[in-house]
């Protein structure tokens, strides 16, 4: 419930829709590629049932899923009626003011297509090895990608509240009555080569505190939200930098057409 509150707060706006021409292509090497709103997103075809998408709509394209505008890539691939509806409702290239933002909710899977269960093995998307994760594996099984959402990039726009802590993280001023805590870390303190500060949002309350790394592209057209849970919330931890690296690797896997490091 807490994680739902945190993620929901990162995706809450209405965008008008008008056009179509999105596509979902199969390739002989086992990939499926979604072309929508000017973006190309790449996944393994075997994971199509683990990749859901949601768009704000007056009527959904898939009567077998719950909620307005929800379906999976598997349904898009296998059901001609779902495919026709999605390709009619989602634009290939966005027109200013006349498109539906899309949110993908993606489950990590193992090489054998099993949904991630913290039992080891390589994770997809991203080809993440177990030793690339913190020793105390708390990565959530599902993460999120937003395409053309009007709130992309606004999460770390709050003013800084106080100085940097022992690891260099700065706390941003909380919004009134919000249970969430926003953090930022200077680009020079992140692992690897980055050009902008790290952005994180945490919900410290409840039985299972949780945090998210937030990445977005330079043009603020796409964003990736990677959540994990904290057994005991004690503020910024060294493991947060590891999740930052994992999120960037996953983003590069999905947005293979974008330059390396574009989402950070």
Q: Which residues pair with 211 in a beta bridge?
A: 202, 228
Q: How confident is the model at residue 179 (pLDDT cuts 50, 70, 90)?
A: confident
Instruction: Let me know: does 228 contact 235? Beta carbons within 8 Å.
Output: no
Q: How confident is the model at residue 70 (pLDDT cuts 50, 70, 90)?
A: confident
Q: How confident is the model at residue 59 (pLDDT cuts 50, 70, 90)?
A: low
C-alpha to C-alpha distance for 264 and 196, rounded to whole angstroms: 7
Find the range with the poorest average confidence among 8-12, 58-62, 184-188. Answer: 8-12
Find the range with the poorest average confidence among 100-104, 209-213, 219-223, 244-248. Answer: 100-104
State the pLDDT at residue 153.
81
Give the DSSP H or E segment for 74: helix 73-78
State the pLDDT at residue 227.
96
139 with 208, same domain? Answer: yes
Q: Is 210 helix (H, G, I), strand (E, B) or coil?
A: strand
Give the DSSP H or E segment for 51: strand 51-55
> Per the domain annotation, does 194 fall within a domain?
yes
> Per the domain annotation, does 114 fall within a domain?
no
Please tell me the total count of domains within the chain. 2
C-alpha to C-alpha distance for 260 and 237, rounded to whole angstroms: 26
pLDDT at 218 over 50: yes
> Per the domain annotation, does 117 fall within a domain?
no
> Per the domain annotation, does 119 fall within a domain?
no
138 with 238, same domain? Answer: yes
Which residue from 214, 222, 233, 228 is spatially nearest to 258, judged by alpha carbons? 222
Q: How confident is the model at residue 11 (pLDDT cuts 50, 70, 90)?
A: very low
> Per the domain annotation, does 142 fall within a domain?
yes
pTM for this prediction: 0.86
pLDDT, averaged across the chain = 85
53, 55, 62, 221 from 68: Cα distances, Å: 11, 8, 9, 23
Range of the domain at 216: 131-254
6 φ/ψ angles, rounded to the nearest 5 degrees = -65, -45
The domain boundary, picked from 74, 107, 140, lies at 107
The sheet that has 39-44: what strands, in order across it?
23-26, 31-36, 39-44
> Per the domain annotation, does 95 fall within a domain?
yes
State the pLDDT at residue 19.
43
pLDDT at 93 over 80: yes
Instruction: Let me know: does 254 contact 203? Beta carbons within 8 Å.
Output: no
State the pLDDT at residue 7.
52
């Amino acid at each position: 419930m807490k994680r739902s509150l945190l993620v929901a707060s990162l995706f809450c706006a209405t965008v008008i829709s008008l056009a179509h021409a999105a596509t979902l292509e199969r390739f002989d090497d086992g990939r499926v590629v979604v072309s929508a709103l000017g973006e190309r997103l790449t996944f393994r075809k075997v994971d199509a049932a683990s990749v859901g998408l949601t768009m704000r709509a007056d009527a959904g394209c898939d009567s077998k899923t719950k909620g307005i505008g929800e379906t999976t890539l598997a349904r898009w691939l296998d059901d001609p009626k779902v495919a026709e509806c999605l390709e009619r409702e989602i634009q290939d290239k966005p027109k200013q003011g006349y498109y539906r933002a899309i949110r993908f909710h993606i489950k990590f899977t193992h090489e054998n297509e099993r949904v991630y269960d913290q039992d080891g093995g390589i994770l997809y998307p991203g080809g993440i090895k177990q030793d690339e994760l913190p020793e105390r594996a708390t990565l959530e099984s599902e993460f999120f990608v937003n395409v053309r959402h009007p709130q992309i990039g606004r999460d770390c726009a709050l003013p800084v509240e106080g100085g940097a802590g022992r690891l260099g993280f700065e706390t941003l001023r909380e919004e009134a009555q919000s249970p969430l805590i926003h953090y930022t870390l200077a680009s020079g303190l992140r692992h690897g080569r980055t050009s902008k500060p790290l952005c994180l949002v945490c919900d410290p309350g409840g039985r299972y505190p949780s945090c998210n790394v937030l990445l977005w592209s330079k043009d603020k057209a796409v964003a990736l939200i990677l959540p994990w849970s904290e057994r005991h919330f004690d503020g910024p931890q060294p493991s947060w930098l590891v999740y930052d690296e994992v999120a960037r690797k996953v983003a590069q896997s999905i947005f293979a057409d974008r330059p390396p490091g574009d989402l950070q």
